């Protein structure tokens, strides 16, 4: 047979080659079935060598080591509020420069998220290094539907699209047929996308309700992110049929762990419980025996069923303020597969044995049944561990108290072991909004990440690693949770930033994860803790789902997957099915190409859910602040740009801009190396991580933007003297 690598490269280098998936490419090259495995390995080798790259939907593309002027590149476009944008090429890691810069006049009618063809041009002098380009055409629109506010001007209807993606309103003409009124939130379908010198045109497809009315902000986010709400009739029917068949007394084919002492620990407002814990200590051998019992969702959701198709399409549950969009109907998620106290429930169990120092020495898997002895909350557990004599946790039975103390001790052992192997502990607190009696936001706070949370976190990590290592040993492809290593230059930039803040760090050893650990730990005791941890987070790549063996950088784990939340994450469900088939037959297989596509889909739905949650939190907080102009807040500088700096209050976690024009005591210039704005005359600095006192001066509810100005006495005094 002709050299496979040479054959593949010759084919994809043809001028008329249209990127296709691996199987299609194999057919076009006439690869026999018995040679397909070798063909696929060769393609993957060429990927690792940087000669090929993955395109959208995992098609095979030719990868150029360095894009040249005049060449065309396909990628995903992101537009900024200023009108310019960037194209991230498919397989961008194969390019030595960063994303491709597109000037405002070269954007055309492309919108954020569109797949575009960009022709590389010479980058204008005086701009940051890297390639520049002009968008030739939009290959595929991310969406035609947008959410905005309806307004009338000169007797005509317009829609101001939420956010900063479109600088001008979209013309919708006479919208009377929809009975829409000014200031209504609407969904607009764009017929003609705006371009320089050309207004956008669209039609209103749905009226959501008056802006500011209860629930309209949530509905706006649901539509903007195209989030599925109602389940299909077929899926609901299947869920009810599963409920009708289920019998707690039916333990056929399952190990009976119903007499084991197991508990769940979840938030106070949790409605589904998919993980339970058992833990014993063998004082004779000095070994720990940890049982992580995960709801056996796979038993109730057969592959290819309507329930499965619905769950696969959703990818995950979506958690919004005051609203949850579950991946599975509540008959499954809140009943059959919820590990409720005192009820017999089906589980897949990971039974692990550890030495006294936390080294795992044996693992066994089982399909079993358990009966949870006690449903505990994080607050209850933390109160008990803190020794709060007046807490409700004081009524816990002695066996539960003993178990909790045992769990705390062992979790700390596991945590210390992870730390010694180089795991990074990023402190990125979760935001929880506070509401008044009418359901409106009255404040916000960060959810504590205390020992009670860390206990469950450590046990879930241990189970996920154990399952991933087992599947890897079997040689079967599976959806891993991967976190690729960051680019070295990103870590050097972070190290230089940390050194500027006074941390003892050497940029020459920026990739030393133990040096990074020290910075993160030291930052926890300093005011700029959020800025430092967010700065490192921005230096890291996003975690994603893929069958490619790439490890998990932040966890310092070679093999890792998500197994512990099949109620709310589809990748976990796929892992349960693989493990179940192996337990039943001793054999298991999977199609790697299908997993690549599924991993890309689940990574997308996960990012969509996270972005939707952040957007709704931001909308609610901006509405809250719009009624409190003049409010003064303590804040941390979270970003520094030539046009000003962004700051965020720990009490109200939303970024606001202090524009450089409001700093009237001096002329400030941007020092990119130190992430600072520096006064030329006074040498006054505003640096990433600094604490400042700011005042709310403007809230743009259309563009979702917040403006602060400095409110410290020094600035007010200097301004008054002028």
CATH code of the domain in which 30 resides: 1.10.10.10
Is residue 425 one of the residues assigned to a domain? yes
Q: Torsion angle, CA of 265/268/272/275, rounded to 10 degrees?
A: -10
Residues 341 and 251 occupy one common structural domain = yes
Residues 315 and 348 occupy one common structural domain = yes
Closest CA to 372 of 213, 257, 235: 257
d(CA 82, CA 644): 14
Per residue in 225-252, pLDDT (tens digit) is: 999 999 999 999 999 999 999 999 999 9
pLDDT at 712 > cutoff 90: no
Q: How confident is the model at residue 107, as a pLDDT?
A: 92
Per residue in 435-454, pLDDT (tens digit) is: 887 778 888 877 888 999 99
Per residue in 63-73, pLDDT (tens digit) is: 754 556 677 88
Q: How confident is the model at residue 528, as a pLDDT?
A: 78
Domains identified in the chain, total number: 6
d(CA 546, CA 177): 47
DSSP alpha helix (H) spans, 256-357: 297-300, 306-314, 330-331
Banded model confidence at residue 598, pLDDT cuts 50, 70, 90: very high
Per residue in 524-543, pLDDT (tens digit) is: 888 778 778 888 988 898 99
Residues 592 and 651 occupy one common structural domain = no
Residues 514 and 431 occupy one common structural domain = no
- Beta-bridged to residue 491, according to DSSP, are none
Is residue 619 one of the residues assigned to a domain? no
Residues 382 and 242 occupy one common structural domain = yes
Structure tokens at 105: 């006049």
Residues 131 and 188 occupy one common structural domain = no
Is residue 224 one of the residues assigned to a domain? no
Residues 198 and 293 occupy one common structural domain = no
Per residue in 338-376, pLDDT (tens digit) is: 999 999 999 999 999 999 999 999 999 999 999 999 999
Q: How confident is the model at residue 721, as a pLDDT?
A: 38
pLDDT at 317 > cutoff 50: yes
The alpha carbon dihedral of 509, 513, 514, 517 has a sign of positive
Print the domain residue range for 528. 488-540
Answer yes or no: are the C-beta atoms of 635 and 693 closer than 8 Å: yes
Q: How confident is the model at residue 179, as a pLDDT?
A: 87
The residue assigned the tokens 């972070």 is 494
| Farthest-apart Cα atoms in the chain, separation | 86
pLDDT at 680 > cutoff 50: yes
Residues 363 and 413 occupy one common structural domain = yes
Banded model confidence at residue 93, pLDDT cuts 50, 70, 90: very low
pLDDT at 61 > cutoff 90: no
Answer yes or no: are the C-beta atoms of 352 and 289 closer than 8 Å: yes
Per residue in 94-115, pLDDT (tens digit) is: 333 468 899 988 999 999 889 9
d(CA 700, CA 160): 12
pLDDT at 394 > cutoff 80: no
Mean pLDDT of the region 546-550: 89
Mean pLDDT of the region 670-675: 83
Question: Among 580, 612, 644, which residue terminates a domain?
Answer: 612
Banded model confidence at residue 508, pLDDT cuts 50, 70, 90: confident
Per residue in 468-488, pLDDT (tens digit) is: 999 999 999 999 999 988 888
* CA atoms within a 13 Å half-sphere pointing along the CA-CB vector of 399: 9
Q: How confident is the model at residue 715, as a pLDDT?
A: 52
Mean pLDDT of the region 161-170: 90
Is residue 623 one of the residues assigned to a domain? no
pTM value is 0.85
pLDDT at 55 > cutoff 90: no
Residues 476 and 504 occupy one common structural domain = no
Residues 533 and 586 occupy one common structural domain = no
Strands 72-79 and 115-121: antiparallel
Residues 50 and 179 occupy one common structural domain = no
Q: How confident is the model at residue 270, as a pLDDT?
A: 84
Give one DSSP letter per residue of 465-519, joined into a string: HHHHHHHHHHT----EEEBPPPPHHHHHHHHHHHHHTT----GGGTT-HHHHHHH
Answer yes or no: are the C-beta atoms of 534 and 428 closer than 8 Å: yes
CA distances from 435 to 2, 216, 320, 445, 626 (A): 69, 16, 14, 11, 16
Structural Rg of the chain based on CA atoms: 28
Per residue in 4-42, pLDDT (tens digit) is: 887 888 788 777 787 888 888 988 888 888 888 888 888
Question: Among 87, 117, 140, which residue terminates a domain?
Answer: 140
**Chain centroid, CA 235 distance in Å:** 27
User: Which residues are within 8 A (CB) of 646 and not within 5 positions of it... i.e. 6 or more apart?
Assistant: 637, 638, 639, 640, 655, 656, 657, 658
Q: How confident is the model at residue 67, as a pLDDT?
A: 56
Residue 462, H or E segment? helix 451-474
Average pLDDT of the chain, as a whole number: 89
Counting beta carbons within 10 angstroms of the beta carbon of residue 594, is it exposed (0 to 12), middle (13 to 18) or buried (19 or more)?
middle
Instruction: For Cα atoms 418, 420, 425, give the angle at the middle one, nearest 5 degrees.
Output: 55
CA distances from 433 to 253, 270, 452, 646, 655 (A): 45, 16, 21, 21, 15
State the DSSP code for 316: B
Please tell me whether residue 693 adopts helix, strand or coil conformation.
Answer: strand
Banded model confidence at residue 714, pLDDT cuts 50, 70, 90: very low
Banded model confidence at residue 722, pLDDT cuts 50, 70, 90: very low
pLDDT at 182 > cutoff 90: yes
- How many CB atoms sit inside 10 A of residue 7's CB? 16
Is residue 222 one of the residues assigned to a domain? no
Identify which of 262-266, 389-393, 443-447, 689-693 has the greatest average pLDDT. Answer: 262-266
Question: Among 42, 62, 82, which residue terminates a domain?
Answer: 62
The CATH number of the domain holding residue 169 is 2.40.50.690
Q: How confident is the model at residue 9, as a pLDDT?
A: 84
Instruction: For Cα atoms 369, 374, 380, give the angle at the middle one, nearest 5 degrees.
Output: 145
Residues 413 and 521 occupy one common structural domain = no
Answer yes or no: are the C-beta atoms of 491 and 510 closer than 8 Å: yes
* CA atoms within a 13 Å half-sphere pointing along the CA-CB vector of 525: 5
Strands 480-482 and 544-546: antiparallel
Is residue 220 one of the residues assigned to a domain? no
């Amino acid at each position: 047979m002709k050299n496979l690598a040479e054959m593949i490269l010759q084919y994809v280098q043809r001028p008329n080659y249209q990127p296709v998936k691996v199987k299609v490419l194999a057919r076009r090259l006439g690869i026999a079935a018995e040679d397909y495995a070798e063909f696929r390995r060769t393609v993957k080798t060429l990927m690792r060598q940087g000669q090929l790259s993955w395109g959208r939907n995992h098609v095979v593309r030719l990868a150029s080591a360095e894009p040249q002027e005049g060449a065309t590149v396909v990628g995903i476009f992101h537009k900024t509020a200023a009108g310019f944008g960037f194209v991230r090429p498919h397989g961008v890691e194969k390019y030595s420069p960063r994303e491709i810069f597109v000037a405002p006049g070269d954007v055309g009618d492309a919108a954020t998220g569109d797949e575009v063809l960009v022709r590389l041009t010479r980058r204008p002098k005086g701009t940051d290094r890297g390639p520049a380009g002009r968008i030739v055409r939009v290959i595929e629109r991310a969406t035609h539907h947008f959410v905005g506010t309806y307004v009338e001007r000169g007797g005509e209807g317009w829609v101001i699209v939420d956010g900063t993606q479109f600088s001008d309103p979209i013309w919708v003409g006479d919208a009377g047929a929809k009975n829409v009124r000014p200031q209504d939130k609407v969904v607009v379908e764009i017929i003609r996308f705006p371009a320089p010198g050309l207004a956008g045109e669209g039609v209103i497809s749905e009226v959501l309700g008056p802006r500011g009315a209860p629930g309209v902000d949530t509905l706006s986010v649901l539509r903007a992110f195209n989030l599925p709400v109602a389940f299909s009739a077929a899926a609901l029917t299947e869920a009810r049929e599963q409920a009708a068949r289920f019998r707690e007394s039916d333990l056929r084919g399952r190990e009976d762990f119903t007499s084991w002492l197991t508990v769940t620990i979840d938030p106070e407002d949790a409605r589904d419980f998919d993980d339970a814990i058992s833990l014993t200590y063998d004082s004779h051998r000095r070994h720990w025996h940890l049982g992580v019992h995960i709801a056996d969702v796979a038993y109730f959701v057969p592959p290819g069923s309507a329930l499965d198709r619905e769950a696969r399409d959703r990818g995950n549950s979506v958690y919004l303020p005051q609203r949850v969009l579950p991946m599975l109907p509540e008959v499954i998620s809140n009943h059959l597969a919820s590990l409720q106290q005192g009820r017999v429930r089906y589980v897949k169990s990971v039974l692990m044995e550890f030495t006294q120092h936390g080294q795992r020495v044996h693992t066994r898997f089982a399909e079993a049944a358990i009966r949870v002895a006690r449903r505990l909350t994080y607050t209850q557990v933390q109160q008990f561990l803190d020794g709060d004599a007046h807490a409700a946790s004081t009524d816990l039975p002695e066996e539960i108290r003993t178990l909790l103390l045992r769990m705390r001790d062992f979790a700390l052992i596991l945590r210390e072991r992870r730390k010694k192997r180089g795991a990074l502990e990023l402190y990125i607190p979760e935001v929880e909004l506070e509401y008044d009696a009418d359901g409106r936001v009255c404040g916000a706070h960060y959810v504590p990440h205390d020992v009670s949370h860390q206990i469950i976190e450590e046990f879930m990590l241990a189970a996920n690693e154990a399952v991933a290592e087992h599947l890897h040993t079997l040689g079967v492809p599976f959806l891993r949770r991967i976190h690729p290593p960051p680019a070295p230059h990103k870590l050097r930039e972070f190290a230089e930033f940390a050194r500027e803040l006074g941390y003892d760090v050497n940029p020459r050893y920026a990739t030393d994860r133990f040096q990074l650990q020290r910075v993160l730990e030291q930052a926890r005791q300093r005011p700029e803790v959020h800025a430092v941890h967010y700065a490192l987070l921005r230096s890291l790549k996003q975690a994603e789902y893929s069958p490619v063996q790439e490890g998990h950088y932040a966890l310092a784990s070679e093999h890792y997957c998500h197994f512990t939340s099949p109620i709310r994450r589809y990748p976990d469900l796929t892992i349960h099915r693989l493990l179940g088939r192996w337990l039943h037959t001793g054999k298991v297989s999977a199609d790697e190409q299908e997993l690549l596509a599924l991993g890309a889909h689940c990574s997308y739905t996960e990012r969509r859910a996270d972005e939707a949650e952040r957007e709704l939190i931001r909308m609610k907080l901006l509405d809250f602040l719009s009624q409190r102009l003049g409010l003064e807040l303590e804040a941390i500088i979270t970003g520094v740009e030539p046009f000003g700096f962004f700051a965020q209050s720990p009490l109200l976690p939303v970024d606001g801009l202090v524009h450089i024009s409001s700093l009237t005591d001096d002329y400030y210039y941007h020092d990119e190396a130190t992430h600072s704005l520096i006064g030329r005359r006074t040498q006054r600095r505003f640096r990433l991580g600094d604490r400042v006192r700011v005042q709310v001066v403007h809230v743009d509810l259309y563009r979702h933007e917040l403006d602060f100005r400095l409110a410290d006495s020094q600035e007010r005094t200097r301004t008054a003297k002028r």
